[in-house]
Homo-oligomer: A and B are copies of this chain.
Amino acid sequence: MKDVASMAGVSTSTVSRVINQTIPVDKQTRSKVLDAIESLNYRPNLLAKGLRVKSGQLIGLILPEIRMHAFVQIINSVEEYVVNRGFSLIIGNTHNDPDIEEKLLDNLLRRNVDGIIFSRLSDESRVLNLIKKSRVKVVAIDRELDVKDVPHVILDNYGAGVTAARHLISLGHKKMACITGPLNIKLCRERLAGFSDTIKDEHLQLEDNQIYEGRFDFDSGFKGAEHLLSQHSDISALWAQNDLMAIGALKALKIHSHLVPEEIALMGMDNLEISRMVSPALTTIMQPFDEMSKKAVEILFSKENKAGQQRIILKPGLVVRDSTVLNSSKT
């Protein structure tokens, strides 16, 4: 920067002003400075700037498991929105380990990140303590946090359950079953509640043994379907609380020679890319991951009410494909 200044015959403050366009600079000097920058190939040092203005021009994204398809969509969208604002994105994968989680967060704070988006903290108490003590803005995405002062962007998970049930009921199904995610996760309980309440409103049954608790992965979906069908030969429809489990269930149904959707209707949730690739293509509840990410970034960058609690609850959608309705669509 000094070089640029001396080459342009001005002071470093002027150079700074040209770069950041803070204070008007004379046209002449301005272009001299720009020329110098150009010919010297000058690149401002963001560390120095960050040190001075106490902002790393950096956003952190902390996730429990990067490989999960849903989180990939969040990474993808958040990266785009963050970079669009001229910031960089640091990602961290906690593997659901509280120690790693704390280490990652600590590292972000040392870098003076301007904001952190996190999802599904494995250890809320410790982390929230750290956050409270610091001045960073934080947004929770996808998973609710029982804490004031932290804005949320989440899905209407109860509504997702309602939508799933309504769809199956509208197709005339009388006996349904559900493969849930881990029930210690609140959103799984909410999805189930929406599903269950809607079914009961129609005076249909959803007994405990029509519910199987999975782990959000392919294998537990597979086992869940096998288990439920061995218990109830008269189940005609199955909702898995994510697409991965639904695809596991689909595999199980095929192996046991049940036709989908003729004998058993099957639906999932997330609307992952793969849900349309399997055969039959999967009916599913769409989660607006892109919109979630966009909102989360917007909140992070909005200046007002750092303290004011915000809860943004997005609506799920229904995507009907061949696994519930024969020949529903092509592709």
Contact = CB atoms under 8 A, between A and B. Distances in A.
Interface of A: 41, 43-48, 50-51, 56, 66-67, 72-73, 75-76, 79-80, 83, 88-93, 100, 103-104, 106-112, 133, 218, 244, 247-248, 250-251, 254, 273-274, 276-279
A99 to B, nearest CB: 12
Contacts of A109: 43
Contact of A112 (B45, B56, B110, B111): B45
Nearest to A88: B90
B67 A73 contact: yes
B48 A66 contact: no
Contacts of A218: 273, 276-277
B50 A47 contact: yes
A133 B278 CA distance: 48
Nearest to A251: B279
Given A66-B79, A75-B66, A76-B93, A111 B46 contact: yes
A107 B91 CA distance: 16
10 contacts: A43-B110, A44-B110, A47-B51, A51-B51, A67-B72, A67-B73, A72-B72, A80-B93, A83-B103, A247-B274
A110 B46 contact: yes
Given A66-B72, A247-B274, A277-B278, 16 more contacts: A43-B109, A43-B110, A45-B110, A46-B111, A47-B50, A47-B111, A75-B91, A76-B93, A79-B93, A88-B90, A88-B107, A88-B108, A89-B90, A244-B277, A250-B279, A251-B277
A279 B254 CA distance: 8
Contacts of A48: 51
A91 B91 contact: yes
Contact of A66 (B76, B100, B133): B76
A83 B47 CA distance: 20
